[in-house]
Amino acid sequence: MIYLGTSGFKYDEWRGSFYPPELSPRDWLNFYCHRFNALEINSSYYRLLHPATYYHLGRKVPSGFLFTVKAYRGLTHQIGPQMKEELKAFLESISPLREAGKLGCVVAQFPTSFHRSPAALSHLELIRDGCADIPLAVEFRHRSWATQETFDFLRLHRLGFVCVDEPAFPNLMPPLAVATADFAYIRFHGRNYQRWWESGEEKLRYDYLYSEAELEEWMPRIEALSAHTHRVFIFMNNHFGGKAAINAQMLAGLIEAKLPGSIPSPPGACQSQSLQGDLPLGLSSSPP
């Protein structure tokens, strides 16, 4: 089964390009999950979200819809002695999605400065051990990880490899299609060579619209990954200007043509209730 969507959904510039101009932001998720069956949550990277946030997200989507959650930056980018406590807090925050059966996996995306080394491998083991049986995928940016030894390590520790499409700079990961777990994971970042390394306006890095021919390049890889795993997660991260949603819909059409029925449609529409519904005991809607 293939779960396809975008990296995030709450972007103001998507109004008009994806969301109808008159649609209230409170109804954006409802609109989104009529078109896609999965969503990658990226705001979790910037701060530890309250469990109530995930509880309400889980209530608002239909049965069969899955979320993946990007790991908090204290686990991948700002690593320090507090990591174990932050991992515990992160897992507690996403527990409502897991309990609702709507957590596809956690994705840990590391920076280009995270090179393959014994210390880096030990860090991955710590995260894997802390996540217990939660499906965990790892995205590497530095090319030093593009080795058979890496894939063997990931398989040994039940870690999924995140396949990426991004500019082909010498130090970045190439577009490898490898499955190291019982699921596969693909992220499309765009191929914006000109603005990839710009500082100050990092979001412009993702200002790129894939052509149909460029998406077609991935179809043999998607078919192979689908044949060797029970789930394939695919997310478009070229979010600037709504391009992720446009490309996700284009890719869905290509997949349906080549692999009909492989993208399960959620049975029924998203729920339109507000975020003020009753919470389970012990779950407050106010920040901790």
Q: Cβ atoms within 10 A of the Cβ of 179, count?
A: 21
Per the domain annotation, does 172 fall within a domain? yes
Per the domain annotation, does 266 fall within a domain? no
Do residues 37 and 4 lie in contact, with contact meaning Cβ atoms separated by under 8 Å? Answer: yes
Mean confidence (pLDDT) of the chain: 90
Per the domain annotation, does 240 fall within a domain? yes
Q: Tell me the average pLDDT across 59-83.
A: 93
61 sits in the region (left: phi over 0; alpha: psi -120 to 50; else beta) called beta
Is residue 282 scored above 80 in pLDDT? Answer: no
Q: Tell me the average pLDDT across 20-27.
A: 95
Is residue 212 scored above 50 in pLDDT? Answer: yes
Q: Which has more pLDDT, 272 or 72?
A: 72
DSSP letter at 8 equals -
Quick one: which of 180, 193, 12, 204 has its CA closest to 105?
Answer: 180
Count: domains in the chain: 1
Per the domain annotation, does 30 fall within a domain? yes
Rounded Cα distance, 280 and 161, in Å: 35
Residue 30 pLDDT class (50, 70, 90 cuts): very high
Per the domain annotation, does 27 fall within a domain? yes
Convert 150-161 to b/e letters by CB count within 10 Å (16 or more is b): bbebbeebebbb
User: What is the domain extent for residue 150?
Assistant: 2-258
Per the domain annotation, does 129 fall within a domain? yes
Per the domain annotation, does 81 fall within a domain? yes
Residue 79 pLDDT class (50, 70, 90 cuts): confident
Surface-to-core class of residue 147, CB atoms within 10 Å of its CB (0-12 exposed, 13-18 middle, 19+ buried): exposed
We report the CATH number of the domain holding residue 223 as 3.20.20.410
Coil, strand, or helix at residue 209? Answer: coil
Per-residue pLDDT, 246: 96
Do residues 229 and 181 lie in contact, with contact meaning Cβ atoms separated by under 8 Å? Answer: yes
Handedness of CA 79, 80, 84, 89 (dihedral sign): negative
Q: Tell me the average pLDDT across 204-229.
A: 95
Residue 33 pLDDT class (50, 70, 90 cuts): very high
Per the domain annotation, does 141 fall within a domain? yes
Is residue 279 scored above 60 in pLDDT? Answer: no
